[in-house]
Amino acid sequence: MLRWLWLALALWGAVHPMYYFLTFLSGNGWDLVALIDAWYVNDSTRGLTWDLTIAALVLTVWIVAEVTVRRNWSALLAIPATFCIGLSCGLPLYLWFRSRRI
């Protein structure tokens, strides 16, 4: 049961933040530079950006360390999900992969 909760949270973590990214991009001419600039508009957003970046790096190290031991190679898919979609998708996706029998 918990395994499916991880998957549902990964899907929510992919869709919900992406709504805001796409809304911003559609209103700003699909300018990725403007999106990234918005992450550093003030100290609050800069701190949040660094917090999420560091957490994503920690998750990546954890994934690589566990995959080398557990040989659960499909769990590596959580790394591009983390950096291309976000930590809110990558972390529960990794937990979903990790909770299956190997």
Considering its fold, how many domains does the chain have in total? 1
Instruction: Quote the pLDDT of residue 102.
Output: 65
Range of the domain at 42: 2-98
- pLDDT digits 0-9 by tens, 68-101: 999 999 999 999 999 999 999 999 999 999 998 8
Instruction: Quote the pLDDT of residue 11.
Output: 98
The token duo for 31 is: 């300018």
Query: Which carries the bigger pLDDT value, residue 1 or residue 93?
Result: 93
For the stretch 73-82, contacts whose Cβ atoms lie closer than 8 Å and that sit 24 or more positions apart, written own/partner, are: 81/10, 81/14, 82/56
